[in-house]
Amino acid sequence: MSDAAKIVQLQLGLPQSYGSADAEDVMDRAWTTGFFKQPTGEKVELDWEGLVGDGVADRINHGGRDKAMLVYADSHYPRWREELHDQVDVAAFGAGAFGENLTVSHLTEAIVCLGDTYQVGTALLQVSQPRQPCWKLARRWRLKELTALAVRTGRMGWYLRVLQKGAIQAGDTLQLVDRSAPDWTIARLNQLFYHDRSNVADAAILAASPLLAESWRSEFRKRIEKAAS
């Protein structure tokens, strides 16, 4: 399956400020975000925290080694356009619309597993956690329910960490070279995180997994402690 997976589009950008502090409409108020990324066909170097020339505004909840790059399935966009055709600019709602760095073909949350490791260009990248969408997704598209819709549908994307620095570009193949946790798809992780909060047994498995980003491991540890108290 991964042999056919490719980077359909690669986008990057640094945080910018938008809006006005005194705007009446909350959607027009001042905010800073790295959500508005621009596509490039050039080869882009990677460091341990992602694409050189890319950045995030909220360093507490985004970025870092465990969330070096955000990936989104290109195959989700036609369905989003169909569902939101009367609420968003469908012509603009394609690759990059979810603020991802890599829009990819042939991969979805139902296929990709925690710890999957890919050779991409000259870099080695590993799946570290599902994407946990915040309010900025809704703000970007001026659609307050979009973040909740993404969670409900599971069409949220996933993060990669960099195991080996290198360079990547649009058109590169994502060659799967290791699958260490085939039982833990991104879809299953989302189900456990958002909907199966009483499942302490699975939470314990994930809390102990070095493949999972520390922020999610910490959340699962808290659930276990709460259940034991």
Domain boundaries, the chain: 2-180
Q: What does the pLDDT read at residue 141?
A: 96
The structure's pTM equals 0.95
Q: What is the pLDDT of residue 1?
A: 40
Per-position b or e across 96-107, b if 16+ CB within 10 A of its CB: bbbbbbbbbebb
Angle (CA) 164 166 167, round 5°: 145
Looking at residue 7, what DSSP letter applies? E
Q: Which CATH class is domain 2-180?
A: mainly beta
Q: In the chain, which ranges are E strands?
A: 7-12, 16-18, 31-33, 38-39, 44-47, 50-51, 69-73, 102-104, 117-120, 123-130, 158-164, 167-168, 175-178
State the pLDDT at residue 211: 98
What per-residue confidence (pLDDT) applies to 28? 87
Cβ atoms of residues 121 and 172 within 8 Å: yes
pLDDT at position 62: 79
- Cα separation, 46 vs 52, in Å, equals 6
pLDDT tens-digit profile, the chain (229 residues)? 445 899 999 999 999 999 988 888 888 899 899 999 999 999 999 999 999 999 988 877 778 999 999 999 999 999 999 999 999 999 999 999 999 999 999 999 999 999 999 999 999 999 999 999 999 999 999 999 999 999 999 999 999 999 999 999 999 999 999 999 999 999 999 999 999 999 999 999 999 999 999 999 999 999 999 999 8
What six digits make up the tokens of 24? Answer: 């009446």
Instruction: Report the C-alpha gap between 143 and 80 in whole angstroms.
Output: 13
